[in-house]
């Protein structure tokens, strides 16, 4: 059996004997730092996208804007169609009730 040389030194390494204990406050700091870094990356990527678009000619910017708007509207349409499908399914299952606003508010007040 082959022994790797570093196995002999593992017990003497200081980081193995003195592992830090993380407290809940440390986790909060870590999470806040991660969120901050993530927002910086997003902002940076967004800023890079804007700078890239600004390098385009006005005609190219107009074509890009038109393309993005069409894609945006298609995505919104897909979301709307999915919501309609879900509502129709709930209606078929009898999960939808019809009534007035007053009846709706009364149901909200009931425990």
Tens digits of residue pLDDT in 62-86: 999 999 999 999 999 999 999 999 9
Residue 96: the pLDDT is: 82
Q: Rounded to two decimals, what is the model's pTM? A: 0.48
3-state secondary structure of 109: helix
As a whole number of angstroms, the distance between CA 64 and CA 60 comes to: 6
Residue 55: the pLDDT is: 95
Residue 23: the pLDDT is: 61
Residue 103: the pLDDT is: 87
Counting as low any pLDDT under 50, the low residues of the chain are 1-10, 13-19
Say which residues have a Cβ less than 8 Å from residue 54's Cβ, sequence separation at least 6: 61
């Amino acid at each position: 059996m082959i022994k790797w040389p570093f196995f002999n030194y593992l017990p003497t390494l200081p980081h193995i004997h003195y592992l830090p204990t993380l407290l809940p406050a440390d986790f909060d700091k870590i999470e806040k730092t991660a969120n901050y870094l993530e927002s910086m990356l997003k902002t940076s990527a967004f800023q890079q996208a804007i700078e890239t678009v600004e390098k385009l000619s006005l005609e190219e910017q107009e074509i890009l804007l038109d393309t993005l708007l069409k894609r945006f509207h298609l995505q919104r349409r897909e979301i709307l169609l999915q919501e309609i499908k879900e509502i129709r399914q709930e209606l078929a299952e009898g999960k939808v009730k019809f009534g007035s606003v007053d009846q709706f508010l009364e149901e909200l007040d009931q425990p």
